[in-house]
Amino acid sequence: SFPLKRLGGRPTLAARFVRCITNHAPTGHYRDRFRQRHHEPTMCVLHSGAPAYHTREHILFRCDYYTRKYRHSSVEELLESMDPFYDIQKFLEDNPSAMSFEDIPDYA
Paired with 44 in beta bridges are 52
Secondary structure of residue 8 in the 3-state scheme: coil
CA distance 33 to 19: 15
Q: Is the dihedral of CA 22, 23, 27, 30 positive or negative?
A: negative
pLDDT bucket at 1, cuts 50 / 70 / 90? low
Residue 97: pLDDT over 90: yes
Give pLDDT tens digits for 8-55.
778 899 999 999 999 999 999 988 888 777 778 889 988 888 889 999
Residue 108: pLDDT over 60: no
Q: Residue 78 burial by CB count (10 A; 0-12/13-18/19+): exposed, middle or buried?
A: middle
Beta-carbon contacts of residue 43 (< 8 Å; ≥ 6 apart): 28, 51, 52, 53, 54, 105
What pLDDT was estimated at residue 65? 93
CA distance 95 to 67: 7
> Residue 43: phi, psi to the nearest 5?
-105, 140
What pLDDT was estimated at residue 104? 72
Domain edges within the chain: 2-103
